[in-house]
Structure 1
Amino acid sequence: MTDPTAPRIEPPEDTIEAIAADLESSLGVKVLRAIAEVMLAGFIGLALIMLGLGGGAWILGGVAAGALVFYGDRTWFHRPALPNKTLRKMGQVLIGLAIGFSIRQSTLSSLSSQIPVLVLLGMTLLVSGGVIGYFYSRLEKVDLLTGVLATTPGNIGVMASIAADYSKNTAFVSLVQLLRFTTIIAVIPLVAQVPHTTDLRSTLSALLPDAYWLTLGNGLELAAVLAAAALAAQLGTRLNIPVATFFCPILVGLGFAPLGFADWFADWFAGLPSGADASFNLPPLLKVVGQILLGTTIGEYWANSPRITFGTLARAIIPVTLTFSAGLLTAAIAKALTPWDWLTCLLIAAPGGSPEMIWIALSLQHDVELVTASHLVRLLVINLSLPGLIWLASYIDSRLAAQQGIVVHTEQ
């Protein structure tokens, strides 16, 4: 026990000031890095648009910028850092809002009859991920839990953190998940053929803020909507809602007009010279920033990955190809069971990021409500089933290890 009569030792003032300076410097570096990533991603995105790759230009620009800036900062300035998850959360909030304001509530309410099919598709992806993980673990000579965590469609950070909790190969899990995610968001926009323009002038004119957003009423309305989305995301995170920073802002955008907030803002700002528009939507520039922020974190994960050899990458391509094939199989099942067209089935079944797939549907104005509902159901299915899948993989690993006389620890 500490002696209460002993003199209290205070840290030197210069130590406190040094710690404060380090914290301030760290925050400043993150802000500067984020600004550099967004600006570089903008230039790369415009270049990709001019090359005709408009479908995923902004997200891919974010991936490239995140990797280049993060790697350069760590290599040239020797500053160790971790991927900035806050940027991805901000991107999810912006994209979630944009999707929420674009969804037609009448169409969404008619999807309740499709829930059993959506659950079946989610379970198909989950089971196929487990089967692929089993065979790949035998091929790669790793334990079953590592193989399952690497091949089951899910959040990169979540799967890697579970691997760390169970003392598994975290770097391997991260690499396979990251390669799967990057492949999907690069290939699907090309397959979907998202409409785009290669005219740089028209692209820039659509992004620059016009007089509509420079009015006081609409500016205050935008600030209030962003604040409400941030609060909803924070509340959803506390309630352990899957991908709360994405789906809770969708609810904010979806309920903005039906709950009367749009009319309330219009009446509240009626006394201002410009007033506020009841038909609110996010500015195009914020939608682009949201896409860029979704990509930058993926690029940072690539830059933060351990040294990747050609052999390691080649072996990681195997489960990614199998997972992509499982997505195509799931899409074929959806096409056989439903009247949906092939593109809708592909966007629903693609084992990639939910925000990115829903954004492609929004860009095409193609069954946005159905794709959104399907990914929400899939996330719930995967997250609710994941504990059971982990237990089963750990149990099988323990049985196999017991047969070989090896002790395996499945808990920390």
Structure 2
Amino acid sequence: MKVGNALKRFLVTLAIALGAGFLFSLTGLFLPWLLGPMAAFLILRQVTNMKFHWPKVFRTLGLLLLGVQIGAAFTQESVLLMAADLPYMFIMTIAVVVFSLGLGFVFQRMTRVTMSTALLGSMPGGLSQMVLISEEVKSANVTIVSVMQTFRILLIVFTVPLTAGLLSGRASGDITETAFRFSPYAFGIALVFGYVLYWIMKRISFPARELMAPVLAMAVVQTLTGSDLIDLPGLVIIIAQVLIGTHLGLSMEKLGDSLDGRIAGAVFLNTVLLIAFSAGLAYGLELLLPEYLFLDFFLSAAPGGMAEMTITALEAGADVPLVTSFHLFRLFFILLVAAPLVSYYVKKLDAKSGY
């Protein structure tokens, strides 16, 4: 691609992203700077042949900004409180994963795809991870797994933030403000630690490392030192929303090319049931732990991406460290336990079926 054409496409892409975000902000919708660009490019990718250009470094920058903002929410007090919540993280994670796999069996009966395709497409472990696993399973249809994961993410990213916008979060006055205690020494340690974490995660192909490395680095250093590493303005969240929302919208290929009516209906039904199940879990945990809000647990249980759910938590007034910790725990559990077990199970099915 010539430099001139690339620049023109980038400027057009940027103008559409900012314009869509601005229009959504006028409507009063929740997360306008994320959902606006995402909706605009999703529609344009489906109905036009327009060419866009959005450098990958912008996605990385958006995730880094978000990771820094999330990490800044972790304090010594919040980490100690989270340690007491580990049993609830385990229970919620097991419940969501088991229910998702149960929906996979239902999906298989509804669509008659192979069992491996249904289970890998239903696992809430992220698009890239499940597609990579499906490529190693002979009976899995990689295209359908990709479509199932993409369509479910699309529905969740639109519906959960909009639902969260209707729920009661914490007002700004309800959030305890502490004096900002900046330590250059601690900030330098966090930069080095974050870079090392990112390098390790990149070597082992860990997902969302651009987000995870700054979150973990800042959380660890702030917890151990008691210092505040950085105090970012609210404009940072808007920039992160635009960068991430544009990337998400452009990543959605023409869904109609590989999404027939039966599969679309089954994915829609499964997603609605999974969101309803997450809401039920959140209600039960709110009864057990009344010091938290329903919104806290709803965003913690929601099977969306960690980046999207934590942006929602930041904007809605939810407990950001709690939501982040639940998603981190679920991510590690799925990658280290659930996904390998499901992969082993479907490969055993393949062996019995002669694939």
Q: TM-score range by the shorter chain?
A: 0.7 to 0.9
Pairwise CA distance, 1:255:
5.1
Task: State which of 154, 164, 181 in structure 2 corresponds to 1:192.
Answer: 164
1:115-154 aligned at under 5 Å gives the runs: 115-154=86-125
- Superposed CA RMSD: 3.5
Q: Distance in 1 between matches of 2:94 and 2:251?
A: 28
Task: State which of 220, 228, 241 in structure 2 corresponds to 1:291.
Answer: 241
Task: State which of 67, 72, 75 in structure 2 corresponds to 1:104.
Answer: 75
Pairwise CA distance, 1:142:
0.9
Q: Distance in 1 between matches of 2:351 and 2:126?
A: 26
Task: State which of 35, 42, 49 in structure 2 corresponds to 1:75.
Answer: 49
Pairwise CA distance, 1:398:
4.2
Question: Does 1:352 pair with 2:326?
Answer: no
**Aligned equivalent of 1:46:** 22
**Aligned equivalent of 2:203:** 238
Q: Distance in 2 between matches of 1:50 and 1:372?
A: 29
2:115 counterpart letter in structure 1: L
| Residue pair 2:76, 2:226 contacting (<8 A) in 1 also | no
Task: State which of 273, 280, 285 in structure 2 corresponds to 1:329.
Answer: 280
Structure 2 length as normaliser, TM-score?
0.80
| Residue pair 1:93, 1:230 contacting (<8 A) in 2 also | no
| Residue pair 1:38, 1:65 contacting (<8 A) in 2 also | no
Q: Distance in 2 between matches of 1:229 and 1:240?
A: 16
Report the CA distance shift for 1:309/1:250 in structure 2 as closer, same or farther (over 3 A).
closer
Secondary structure, in 3 states, of the residue corresponding to 1:75?
coil
Q: Distance in 2 between matches of 1:224 and 1:66?
A: 39
Report the CA distance shift for 1:336/1:85 in structure 2 as closer, same or farther (over 3 A).
farther
Pairwise CA distance, 1:308:
5.3
Q: Deviations over 1:76-105 (max 9, x none)?
A: 56x9x9x97654333221111111123333
**Aligned equivalent of 1:394:** 347
Q: Distance in 2 between matches of 1:322 and 1:397?
A: 29
Segments of 5+ residues of structure 1 without an aligned counterpart are: 1-21, 196-221, 263-277, 402-406
Report the CA distance shift for 1:306/1:386 in structure 2 as closer, same or farther (over 3 A).
same
**Aligned equivalent of 2:329:** 377
Secondary structure, in 3 states, of the residue corresponding to 1:289?
helix
Task: State which of 45, 57, 62 in structure 1 corresponds to 2:32.
Answer: 57
Aligned residues: 333
1:156-171 aligned at under 5 Å gives the runs: 156-167=127-138, 168-171=140-143
Determine what percentage of the aligned residue pairs are the same residue. Answer: 25
Q: Distance in 2 between matches of 1:257 and 1:335?
A: 28
Question: Does 1:367 pair with 2:322?
Answer: no
**Aligned equivalent of 1:313:** 264
Pairwise CA distance, 1:239:
4.4
Pairwise CA distance, 1:390:
1.6
| Residue pair 1:233, 1:246 contacting (<8 A) in 2 also | no
Pairwise CA distance, 1:317:
1.5
Q: Distance in 1 between matches of 2:132 and 2:205?
A: 16
Q: Distance in 2 between matches of 1:38 and 1:102?
A: 30
Report the CA distance shift for 1:304/1:291 in structure 2 as closer, same or farther (over 3 A).
same
| Residue pair 2:143, 2:258 contacting (<8 A) in 1 also | no
Segments of 5+ residues of structure 2 without an aligned counterpart are: 168-186
1:46 counterpart letter in structure 2: F
| Residue pair 1:194, 1:360 contacting (<8 A) in 2 also | no
Question: Does 1:248 pair with 2:213?
Answer: yes
Q: Deviations over 1:381-410 (max 9, x none)?
A: 1111211112113323544x3xxxxx21xx
Pairwise CA distance, 1:349:
0.6
**Aligned equivalent of 1:18:** none
| Residue pair 1:67, 1:300 contacting (<8 A) in 2 also | yes
